[in-house]
Amino acid sequence: MSESPVTKPARRNLLALLPLILFLGLAAIFLTQLMSGRDTQTLPSALIGEPVPVTNLPPIAVLTVPGIAPEDFKGKVTVLNVFASWCAPCRDEHPVLMELAKDTRFQLIAINYKDKPDNAAAFLTELGNPYTKIGADQNGRAGIDWGVYGVPETYVIGPDGVIRHKHVGPLDAESAKALLEEAAKAAAQ
């Protein structure tokens, strides 16, 4: 049985409208996401509320600062910063870290991510070293264990060794204040 001449144009008109319908549907989804009020800077981390990954990292060869061992995350609030000398935002956030290092309520330690030891040492010599311990993660394995998206990233770990907070991107004065609040909460728990 053949189609009537009336149904062919109707079907063609519907097919012609299909891209418009799809576009409007996608636009509605994007608009809903934009208007949701959700913080688009926050990246979810499966590690929040979990114990820190077992992290054994050697020191940076040319520095006298010790590396990182699993017991370093127990007994005191820890702020862990992941940085690299080749990272421009790490250079921008460094003055904020130098200020944070003055706060005795927590220890500030670091993972030097996929960096050459000489470059990391030159970076810290030029800008100052705010860290009490620095682990060299030259192959990036520890970064994978920690769920690092990219450098810089900063974590707050409670005295029980549980990750309480993660900040992705460079710290500025405002985000450092929020980080200190998270560190104070971790110390109180």
Contact 82, 148 (CB under 8 A): yes
pLDDT tens-digit readout, 84-119: 999 999 999 999 999 999 999 899 999 999 999 999
pLDDT at 7: 63
Number of Cβ within a 10 Å radius of residue 74? 14
Kindly indicate the confidence band of residue 39, based on its pLDDT and cuts at 50, 70 and 90.
low
Q: 3-state SS string over 68-79?
A: ECHHHHCCCCEE
The Cα 45–Cα 121 span in angstroms is 30
pLDDT at 83: 98
Q: Kindly tell me the burial class for residue 16, based on how many C-beta atoms sit within 10 Å of its own C-beta (0-12, 13-18, 19 or more).
A: exposed
Q: Is the model's pLDDT at 13 over the cut of 80?
A: no
- Which strands make up the sheet holding 107-113, listed edge to edge? 133-137, 107-113, 78-83, 153-157, 163-168
pTM above 0.75, yes or no: yes
Cα 48 → chain centroid: 12
The Cα 187–Cα 189 span in angstroms is 6
**In sequence order, which residues have a C-beta less than 8 Å from that of residue 105 and are 6 or more positions away?**
77, 183, 184, 187
Higher pLDDT, 130 or 39: 130
Q: 3-state SS string over 159-180?
A: CCCEEEEEEECCCCHHHHHHHH
Q: Is the model's pLDDT at 41 over the cut of 80?
A: no
Quote the mean pLDDT of the chain.
89
